[in-house]
A and B are shown apart, each in its own frame.
Chain A
Amino acid sequence: MQEIEFNEDDVLTLASQGDRDAFGLLYERYVDRIFNYVYYRTGNLHDAEDLTARVFQRAMNHIKTYTDRGVPFSAWLYRIAHNLVANWHRDRSRRQEIPLDDLPVLQTKGDHPERNLVHSQEQDALLKLIRRLPGERQNLLILKFVEDMSNAEIGQIMGRSEGAVKSLYHRTLLALRDQLGDQNINLDGE
């Protein structure tokens, strides 16, 4: 999808005055990123779609309260997504449905986009390990690798300093290394 060029501050002002078309522009710009984030945090398309819709509905309902205090609009959106995903996990654990680890890591249906991903046991194992990490570490990895964000940008979203993000990232890699070692998963695929 082609990125629509516009001045985000102007569009945000219009959107906060109730202009739905302006909000539509923001939606077009961020829907892919939020969908990606939610998809990797939930592990299935249906919930990713539902939660993405809720993120934008909530953003639209509360955009009047959004004021730019050095936090970009994208960071605000990710925080909404983060809260909704956290609630989703909480509800899910209360209902004691199928444990997340038992779900197929990626479901492929017809022309769904994730079929582009290369399925391999190794990647599935890695994704399962990622999903067992604490929420903030999962966030960090998704924002870093899926969204290709810098530590500073991730820090704005997570409410941490750049150094704290760097340190958390290093600890996350170490944790993954240990877990891979515990499970005898050979990353070299040998």
Chain B
Amino acid sequence: MRCSRCQQRDSVIQVHQIINDQSAVVHLCQQCALEQGIEVEATLESNPLTGFLALLEQHPATTGACPGCGATLEDYRSTGRLGCARCYATFAGPLRDLLRRIHGAAAHTGSRPPSAEDSLSADARREDLQTQLRRAIEHEQFERAAVLRDQLRQFE
């Protein structure tokens, strides 16, 4: 069966979505599933970076430079290292996919700094949330969008 999103590749996963009490079944190929933030067991590769590099091609929205240090994803591709703390916010989208591949998770659950204040400035954090929200809407991830919108309200 064809992927219902890109209409090009074969689907590898069936996703049951419930939006506004309406349920729908979507068939997704590996790439589209990953872009939607859905893990497909078979996509786990021995070298997570290889997959990540392929993913970078699919994130045209994050091709810019990091406002913190000027690093680009191209820099990351050649060195395997990020430039600064802000890079994590700037490239959050593709990084989430990469982190899921490396760690099997994309969210930190361990210890936190003693001060409640996070190290990212409020502006950077808001920028990051706005980018994430835009992307969530583009990818029809409405539940995630709602969470992000609530987080953004705290800045108003």
A, B: real partners: no
| Chain A interfacial positions (CB closer than 8 Å to B) | none
| Chain B interfacial positions (CB closer than 8 Å to A) | none
